[in-house]
Structure 1
Amino acid sequence: MLDNKTEQYSFDVIVIGAGPGGYVAAIRAAQLGMKTAIIEANHLGGICLNWGCIPTKALLKSAEMFQKMSHAQDYGLSVKDIAFDLDKIVQRSRDVSAKLSGGISHLMKKNNVSVFNGYGKLIGMNAQSKLQQVSVSNNDKVEAQLSAKHIILATGARAKSFPGLEDDGERVWSYKEALVPKKMPKSLLVIGSGAIGIEFANFYQTFGCDVTVVEAMDQIMPFEDKEIADIAQGAMKKRGMKFKLATKVVELERLKDQVTATIEKNGKTEQLTIEQVITAVGVIPNIENIGLSTAEVSLDQQGFIAVDDFCQTSAQGIYAIGDVAGAPCLAHKASHEAIICIEKIAEQKTVHALDKSMIPACTYGFPQVASIGLTEKKAKDQGFKVRTGKFPFQANGKAIAQGDTDGLVKVIFDDVTGELLGAHMVGNDVTELIQGFTIAKTMETTEDELMHTVFPHPTLSEMMHESVLDAFQRAIHI
């Protein structure tokens, strides 16, 4: 309900949500000369920066350093009394997020974006001005009303849960509690083996926790190429991690100091007793209480906001980007949609619709996994006659020098046209390599151009070149 004290403002663009989609949309709109506002209820940078992508990578860097120190003798070094301080590890992670969140605040000021702290809600189009309206509220009190021709919804998503398996913040954690543990549990059950589950499993296992991962599908990281996923699983099993595939958790009995999980496979059940559980079974969109019905914004069959190729919803002047607009729920997808959406609004001539087959995926475990495009199975299922090429880390000079020889680079080509259909990697630093194949796919590079590209020596990237050569029986070092 508005009162006489409610502030009213008019903008060209209003963005609801300041995650990696929202804040990028606001900056690009401002760059293109639009008067822009952004509304955020919690943290600039959203979940990714504050409770997701960035803080998990900070935790994993500490785990990586601990692993390296534990194997210092392999490098001719001597380190005594290796230990870790969990409080300091967590605090470093929080400090990294805080620094970056402050950076987003600076970018908002630099680009003259008006920031409103509170919950944004669509309240319909003004009949006279034909502008969409948004209220900003805190503690159920409306503090401001904004209007604009263009409203961008970037409210993100949150962790999904199933009945009986909900997180409680104590024995059963979501990603948020898992980021700030007060002590290292002796045993842990991770439900789900997507990127979030695998990353947390690796962090806790590195510091001595007995980790079991349960996955309902028949392979870990179900959307990755099976050969790559199997190599990653083998490396993690070698370090002591346990996996139960094609298995479901059907019940969690929560006690004061432990949890008894009932798991089921092929109709048979067994029980596991663990100290802690992390649920990582996907996400659901944040669509509640943002006025979708008032604005007549439609949802798709999965419950996400339905959008066209340029992020336009079913309602005039309202757009949706990022996780709230559907899979893949990745920060870089949200940021790219932000650019597409704003540039389409601004009628830029060079804007192109997003091709989701061009979006790379990364999982930051030990080893890392990175991919783009079709898996070998999907390529064959779609009727392609394929050529595959592979090159192992153990045959690469840089990998041997670094002491990281577990891994593989795999490429998939259309045998008829030479098109690069997919690229899949597992091993050290592959998340930094995948952009090479991403650029290749974006530029519609063929096998001939990749084979004639000069890769520097000694680098891990040489494996990318050799994998392409291998697809055409021209590999040199295997």
Structure 2
Amino acid sequence: MAIECDVAILGGGTGGYVAAIRAAQLGKSVVIVEKDKLGGTCLHRGCIPSKALLRSAEVYADIKDSASYGIETSGATLVFPKVQERKEAIVQQLHQGVQYLMRKNKISVLQGKGRVIGPSIFSPKSGALAVELENGEMENVVPANLIIATGSRPRTLPGLKPDGDKIMTSDEALLMDELPDSIIIVGGGVIGVEWASMLCDFNVKVTLIEAADHILPQEDQDIAAEMKRLLVKRGVEVRTNVQVLTDTYTDRGDSFSIEVQTGDDSETLSASKILISVGRVANIENIGIENTDIKTLNGFIEVNGQLQTAVPHIYAIGDCIGGLQLAHVASHEGIRAVQHLAGEGVHATPDHFIPRAIYSRPEAASVGYTEKQARELGYTIKIGKFPFQAIGKALVHGHQDGFAKVITDEKTNDILGVHLIGTHVTDLISEAALAQLLDATPWEVGQLVHPHPSLSEIIGEAMLDVDGSAIGK
């Protein structure tokens, strides 16, 4: 007998389980099909475990620098297995929380591999699921609406296949039981920069290489330049305009060598391990979309503005549709899809209104257009900038590097983009995102009385600096 429900969700990651909860809140019967663990990449192989490791690295760095705070220590010892134990404990606590939310909202969870099937004896239309359960038995789910939320996995390079030992993606790196002496990180995007920062703080010799002309290619160039400067200052070797020749590598037993090319010159780089961080690939194979009229483009499922596929009662959300591959985006899309299928009002946030965060040391965060993007879109812009070294709380924290940058439209005074680099800026960016969403002007944000001393003062000062009226500059 098939299981009938209002909404079935293929994939129980951040997008999937949030969509399930929202559907249940709206009175829908919901079934989630998940082949691994609820929480998906973000909880088990991404956001949470990596940030737990980054926090341990940050604490270790602060302890090593404790003398500058007037605290002398007899020495700090990094016990990496205990770092990993802490990470796993956090993941397990949050995983239990997600499981509780499923029970609380009366959401049925099927542990197994699901495939979309076409018209069958179970349903006259495509969109039912055939589920192979963990025990090998088969179950069929017939929903009125289906949401595909199968996520993504790390992209690899030809000739550099992860072996779980010397060649890793972030998935394998999170499972390391000991730290290498040295590592080459291929890819200077968000993931590459976070791992470079973390491993450097853990005393690993890091070489970070990027094919573009600067690291963090999607971020404002001023932010990228400052991040590079600070990573280099800490001992990371940063190389840009570098191509990896993936058919020329050598496993030397205790080290691994790859050949890279910069312009017309090639050279060999060696390290104990190599970490590949060159983007992510959608998980859309072997889920049965070929049994439907769903269309794909460049390896991602195509959807319309309401997140519907070419089959109107089948939606797709999160990393499997491309765009901004961020956990909070997947959650937002999950809520949007459910609101639409339920006939509720839908609020779609434009991509450039969604904040982005990088959890390196220092952190970086942004919302809106970069300076380059704003100019390419034809805006005449004004820029305000303010340094953390003029913010009292930053000096108290002992982290005065970085700045805030505000980009506005000279004609309308609209905020086009806000870019931050410095301590705790991932906690500050939401104010800027809210200001942009509510169509506030820099002057209006500058009139907000920010508490003193606080790091948030940098937002007000940078906004006022757009018109040259920053107080502390």
Cα deviation for residue 142 of structure 1 reads: 5.0
Aligned to 1:247: 242
Q: Is the 8 A contact 1:16 1:22 kept in 2?
A: yes
Determine the C-alpha separation between the residues in 2 that align with 1:154 and 1:265: 39
Q: Over residues 68-112 of structure 1, what are the superposed CA-to-partner deviations in whole Å (9 max), with x where a residue is unaligned?
A: 101111111111121110100011111111111111000000000
Q: Secondary structure at the match of 2:177?
A: coil
Further displaced range: 369-378 or 129-138: 129-138
Cα deviation for residue 166 of structure 1 reads: 2.0
Determine the C-alpha separation between the residues in 1 that align with 2:431 and 2:315: 31
| Root mean square deviation, CA, Å | 1.3
1:312 correspondence with 2:311: no
Further displaced range: 130-139 or 115-124: 130-139
Aligned to 2:35: 41
Compared CA separation, residues 269 and 122, structure 1 to 2 (3 A): same
Where does the alignment leave 5 or more consecutive residues of structure 2 unmatched? none
Further displaced range: 140-149 or 324-333: 140-149
Determine the C-alpha separation between the residues in 2 that align with 1:316 and 1:468: 44
Determine the C-alpha separation between the residues in 2 that align with 1:448 and 1:82: 47
Q: Is the 8 A contact 1:199 1:364 kept in 2?
A: yes
Aligned to 1:94: 88
Q: Over residues 155-184 of structure 1, what are the superposed CA-to-partner deviations in whole Å (9 max), with x where a residue is unaligned?
A: 000010121122111110111221121221
Q: How many residues align?
A: 470
Q: Is the 8 A contact 1:178 1:200 kept in 2?
A: no
Aligned to 2:329: 333
Q: Is the 8 A contact 1:135 1:142 kept in 2?
A: no
Further displaced range: 96-105 or 135-144: 135-144
Q: Secondary structure at the match of 1:398?
A: helix
Q: Secondary structure at the match of 1:369?
A: strand
Q: Secondary structure at the match of 2:360?
A: coil
Aligned to 1:143: 138
Select the residue among 84, 97, 120 that pairs with 2:114: 120
Aligned to 1:403: 398
1:160 correspondence with 2:155: yes
Q: Over residues 383-424 of structure 1, what are the superposed CA-to-partner deviations in whole Å (9 max), with x where a residue is unaligned?
A: 000000000000011111111100110000001001100000
Cα deviation for residue 228 of structure 1 reads: 0.9
Determine the C-alpha separation between the residues in 1 that align with 2:67 and 2:91: 33
Cα deviation for residue 267 of structure 1 reads: 2.1
Determine the C-alpha separation between the residues in 1 that align with 2:119 and 2:303: 19
Q: Report matched runs for 1:411-430 at 5 Å.
A: 411-430=406-425
Q: Report matched runs for 1:353-368 at 5 Å.
A: 353-368=348-363
Select the residue among 295, 298, 317 that pairs with 1:298: 295
Instruction: Please tell me the residue identity of whatever aligns with 1:195.
Output: V
Aligned to 1:51: 45
Q: Report matched runs for 1:263-302 at 5 Å.
A: 263-300=260-297, 302=298
Q: Is the 8 A contact 2:15 2:149 kept in 1?
A: yes
Q: Is the 8 A contact 1:340 1:354 kept in 2?
A: no
Cα deviation for residue 128 of structure 1 reads: 8.1
Determine the C-alpha separation between the residues in 1 that align with 2:123 and 2:39: 32
Cα deviation for residue 447 of structure 1 reads: 2.2
Where does the alignment leave 5 or more consecutive residues of structure 1 unmatched? 1-6
Instruction: Please tell me the residue identity of whatever aligns with 2:95.
Output: S
Aligned to 2:259: 262
Determine the C-alpha separation between the residues in 1 that align with 2:112 and 2:391: 52
TM-score (norm 2): 0.97
Cα deviation for residue 448 of structure 1 reads: 3.0
Cα deviation for residue 457 of structure 1 reads: 1.1
Aligned to 1:439: 434
Cα deviation for residue 456 of structure 1 reads: 1.3
Determine the C-alpha separation between the residues in 2 that align with 1:26 and 1:124: 23
Instruction: Please tell me the residue identity of whatever aligns with 1:457.
Output: H
Q: Is the 8 A contact 1:16 1:39 kept in 2?
A: yes
Further displaced range: 124-133 or 284-293: 124-133
Cα deviation for residue 127 of structure 1 reads: 7.3
Structure 1's consecutive aligned runs of 4 or more residues displaced over 6 angstroms after TM superposition are none
Q: Is the 8 A contact 1:337 1:354 kept in 2?
A: no
TM-score (norm 1): 0.96
Further displaced range: 395-404 or 174-183: 174-183
1:466 correspondence with 2:465: no
Determine the C-alpha separation between the residues in 1 that align with 2:437 and 2:121: 43
Percent identity reads 38
Determine the C-alpha separation between the residues in 1 that align with 2:10 and 2:16: 7
Further displaced range: 352-361 or 456-465: 352-361
